[in-house]
Structure 1
Amino acid sequence: MGDRLDEIMILAKSRDVADRERLLIRLVDMCNGRPDDLRAPRVQDLLSQVFFYLVFQAEHDIRMRLAENIASSDWAPSGLINILAFDDIEIARPIIARSPILEDPDLIRIMVEATLEHQIEVARRRDISASVVEAILKAGRPEVLKALAENETARVSHDHLAELIQRSKDIEGLRSPLAEHAGLNAELASYLYTWVGVALRKSLASRFELDTKALDAALVVSVQQARAGEPRLQAMQPTESEEERRERQLVAKLDMSGQLRPSYLLKALKEKRLSLFVTALSALGRFEAPAVQKAVNASNAENLALACASVGIDRSVFSTMLELLRENNNGLPGSGEDNDRRAYQVFSKTSEKTAATLFRIAASKG
């Protein structure tokens, strides 16, 4: 140790660039050899001062070697690590990828303040947390989203994947990594099926045993709606009653004025106006009215749960709504402990976007 200290003192007095580089490397080697002694606050403060002084005078190549040498160290001063994480990308890359010193707030700050290349490295980092994933989704930069989709160690939730799949509608580069993602399940695969090409559809169908006939039928409906401007209300049926016509006009008026809300569904049921409930739910979800009516009259409440989840109804409201609906509709949709458990599970675990797609798929099965 004495010889090391003597060498370090000699190097510290030198103005030569090569000696500065050797000094940094010797300090790192010495610290790596005794990491347990370096975690005390006073030692950390001293290390920070020494390294900052050297780093600010160091050439690009020296900083790059330093970053590579301390990227995996758990003794490095946090301030130094954060400075290197914002340095040129060649210097920052190993720090962002491997440093155990970087915490979620540090990574999120990089997402907000650093360059696109730095953000991509954050998205590629192993085991990034849900909060970092959310920051990436919020930023929404296609290249960073693609890196996230390719990172199967990231803590991506069901809803995160659903949002990535929704983004794949406009970002083609997301589709292939999402189709191969380990977190994908049959529900999300059905959703992704809508946006991908023929080859990926075949892969998804084989991997998850998807009902391609129903999915293709739902896809045709979606294309037709898009070409028609996705009308939110269906044309008046020849057999509709005068009351139904007035209800349809009322819902249309509320919809066009932006006043049609999910809470209106509960209001309709409290007023014992079942057809108004069906019309309003059809408008809110952009569904075919017969499909909603079929869900209301079904032997179980699972499809109705999908329709309600897709328009943003609160879970506590759904329970009350289902009870009122059965009071107004001769006990339908069908009840029972198992039926209700499945319905509540579908409602609580399916995001709005996924629920809408699954409802249309179920409706297309006839």
Structure 2
Amino acid sequence: MQGSGLSALVRDLDAAIARRPPEQRVETLRRVTDLFLRDAKALRGEHVDVFDIVIARLAAVIERRARIDLSERLADVPNAPIGVIRTLAQDDIVVARPVLTRSPCLTSSDLVAIAAAKGRDHMLAICERPYLPSAVTDALVMRGDRAVLHAVSRNAGAKFSRAGLEALIAKARADFALQAQLGQRVDIPEPHRTRLISIAKEAARRRLADALPEAAESDIASVVDAGAQSLAPRGSPERYAEAEAEVARLLSLGHLDEKAVAGFAESERFEECVLAITRLCGVSQAIAERTLTGDVELLVVLCRAQEWTWKTTRALIALQGPRGGRTAKRAYASFRSLAVETALRAVRALTLQEASRDIVGVSGAGM
């Protein structure tokens, strides 16, 4: 569309909007959005640009409830009008949340700019995205408060630069919960994990010495060393190699099934459980490790999708030690209420997110 024609369209649109009462503006926006969503896959770039102008003009003069609806409808569309998406992402958090957490249209640069311009709620929403490149996590770590740091460290799809990870570990020095969360990540390089363990041990030693001034130094050191094991990775390369051979053998015989998983869990064979879940549930090893070291809700979803029994699920939860025992009761309520079909849909969505994350990871250098 030529510049003069575009200007005429905008003038006519603004005039039409000015003549319409608020309820008619909302209805017009819904109809225009319906038209875009109907044809979105077939639209060329210049056509999307026209929708961008029309929807943006209408969205600027409607109430918040209608903008929330617009954000929900456009959040998952790969070629949604980018100007509208960026405007919605900068709106009040109830409007912005759907596009901040889900929209594939927002680039790393967009997310960094939003993290810099907006507050905690917007940063927390960004932390919910299935994949966060290091440029975004750098911004979140540098600017975010404690809640943001915890949220980004919990995100298994978050990637950290060396500088970002060093800053996050430095901030964990005075935050015991953050130390534990970072210790559960499977992607922490060994030098950083060693530093994290050292920080955790020193912090624990100070706390125990203050709380128990009469305790012997050797007793405190023993307790500290035992606690620091929670920050060490559960699986070793040697054990994973052995487990891989056993899981592959069972798979070749057609015996890799729920009974095998239950046997691994009851024998506390962590690595075998991780690799069996990876094979049977179709998720990555990182996801499987995450479910067995802290994410009980996701573990319940995977078990229900496979239609495994509560006995097997509980045995897998028990691999988390005392913490697993404390969460088993709540997990059982989720297990009973979660429909198999719902669990299957959730697992399919998770695997698609992982696949898209891998694609973005390969092509994201240009973002």
- Relative to the length of structure 2, the TM-score reads 0.48
Q: Write 1 or 2 for the structure with the bigger share of helix.
A: 2
Query: Which structure has the larger Rg?
Result: 1
